[in-house]
A and B are shown apart, each in its own frame.
Chain A
Amino acid sequence: MNKNVKVQVTHLTKKFGELLVLNDVSFDVYDGEFLCIVGPTGCGKTTFLNSLTHLYEPTSGEILFKGEKIDLRKHDIAYIFQEYSAMEWLTVKENVRFGLELKKQYKGINEKVKDALELVGLTKFADYYPRQLSASMLQRVVIARAFATQPELLLMDEPYGQLDINLRFRLEDEVVRLCKQTKTTVIFITHNIEEAVYLGDRILVLTNKPTSIKEIVTDELPHPRDIAAPEFVEMRNRITDLIKWW
């Protein structure tokens, strides 16, 4: 893997009033890598992504994307929120088109939308409205919308929390394949350690609040990974031990 730095986080600190959430966090994300972030619940994982995308302003420190301050209108970044964010007044298909239309990427838009819907298995539901879908289908709409824009950096905040196990495996494999194929850099947040070990090139383990980096584990097991393999289990256990905070 080439080691060009894509995202550079330096001395990132975030306080909500008196509550210190992120405490002087520094790390790099390399070009094309799949970085998983795991940590105890409430440790500030979502806060980190929100700071990265300027939904929140960091209290201090800096996050650079390809050496520049992040500008969502200039950089192709997709962010899949922990909660659903499908537009209720648009059909599934229109939701997927939405991002492309905002960026005026009309070239090949129909194919892109079709591919994205196929990827998440929603082709048959293209003309449904979000109200008519189940929770897991809603999340797939959002995933399709993100993938359709072919982002350079894909941020995912526990995107599969609500999905059933089969679909989860299928989408995880797809995500890895797609990201490798398109050389997308991914920051993937989860509190499911198995998922992190299954997906990540590196796994960043966070401590409890005030949050700092406990360790960065490099995961070089070959894809597709076997969750029953001894190396896999060993790594999973190691990270589980790291994350215990009591």
Chain B
Amino acid sequence: MSKKNQRARALAYGGGTFLLLLFLWEILVRMTDSQIPFPTPFAVIERFVDMLFHNVGYYYTIVGHVLWSLSRVLAGFCMAAVLGIVLGLTMGWFPYVRAIFMPIFNLLRPIAPLAWIPLAILWFGIGEKYKYFLIFIAAFVPFTLNSYAGATHVDKQLVGAAKMLGANNAQVFFEIVVPAAVPSIFSGAQVALSNSWMTMLAAEMVCATEGIGWIIIAGQAVNDMTQMIAGMLAIGIVGFLLANGMRLLERRCLVWNNQGN
């Protein structure tokens, strides 16, 4: 079967299942006798479109809220990328860096980002900094772990080859260890991004006056289930786009790692 055919088939199956689910949802809503009005899929989509053009709350449309959320994710994610990659690579390659930082890192690593919420609010207040901090924590761990793994699994043969060609220690690190670790760093970035996205929601639900997390909480405050579900829809869509964007970036940056094309 040709690749195109296969694609079309996958799309048809996926789309079919999706439509079927919507249909079931619609039916169930019509059959229920729940006291709280449960929105139909059509109502949710209608609200979602409405949110694109009209403000949710006083100031922003849903696009504005998404941008707020994205700005927080971006800030925390980037700080985590810089620090996590540097720490992970150096811990992976230089034994003394590992000796110094590994114990602390291992101790802090299992503490879920959400566990930091109360402390973070005490330290940073309820503004942006607190959210950056939580997202930073969420992304920092996978960045560090994967950079570390990448640096420890460098092919010793290549290190030897570089030394034979006269590389000094700095050259071995920057010319061999760093590029060899890039694929592993990218898989860390995938995890870090989805962690950041989730943690951002939690942070916004605890305290925020804008953002997607806030949309859901605000919906709950007035028993507006349609708004909550429309917010969740936005989370899904943006999260999906982010993950795919990252995958695209990876494919761009790692041409050498793609097999068979």
Chain B: interface secondary structure?
Answer: helix
A92 vs chain B, min Cβ distance (A): 11
Instruction: Chain B residues near A77: list those with CB within 8 A.
Output: 164
Chain A interface size, under 10 / 10 to 19 / 20 to 34 / 35 or more: 20 to 34
Q: Is A129 an interface residue when CB atoms closer than 8 A count as contact?
A: yes
Expressed in whole angstroms, the Cα–Cα distance for A234 and B30 within the complex equals 96
A53 to B164 alpha-carbon distance, docked (Å): 8
Residues of B within 8 A of A174 (CB): none
Residue pairs across A and B with CB atoms within 8 Å: the count is 62
Beta-carbon contact of B256 and A131 below 8 Å: yes
B28 interfacial contact with A, CB 8 Å:
no
Contact of A102 among B171, B180, B182, B259 (CB under 8 A): B171
Give the contacts of B155-170 with A (CB-CB under 8 A). Answer: 155, 157-158, 160-168
Closest chain A residue to B253, Cβ basis = A89
Is A149's CB under 8 angstroms from B256's CB?
A: no
Segment touching B, from A61-69, A80-88, A179-187: A80-88
**A142 surroundings in chain B (CB, below 8 A):** 161
Given A88-B256, A89-B256, CB of A103 within 8 Å of CB of B160: no
A149 touches B165 (CB 8 A): yes
**A81 with B166: CB separation less than 8 A:** no
Contact status A102-B162, CB under 8 Å: yes
Closest 10 CB pairs of A and B: A85-B161, A99-B165, A129-B256, A79-B164, A89-B179, A85-B157, A89-B256, A73-B166, A103-B166, A102-B167
Kindly state whether residue A145 has any CB partner on chain B within 8 Å. Answer: yes
B179: chain A residues within 8 A (beta carbon): 87, 89
Q: When the two chains form their complex, are residues A87 and B166 in contact, meaning their CB atoms are under 8 A apart? A: no
A89 partner, pick from B160, B171, B180, beta carbons under 8 A: B180
Closest to A54 in B: B163
Q: Decide if A99 touches B257 in the complex (CB within 8 Å).
A: no
Contacts known (A87-B176, A89-B180, A131-B256); A103 close to B165, Cβ less than 8 A: yes
The CA of A85 and the CA of B157, in the complex, are separated in Å by 6
The residue of chain A having its C-beta at the shortest distance from the C-beta of B256 within the complex is: A129
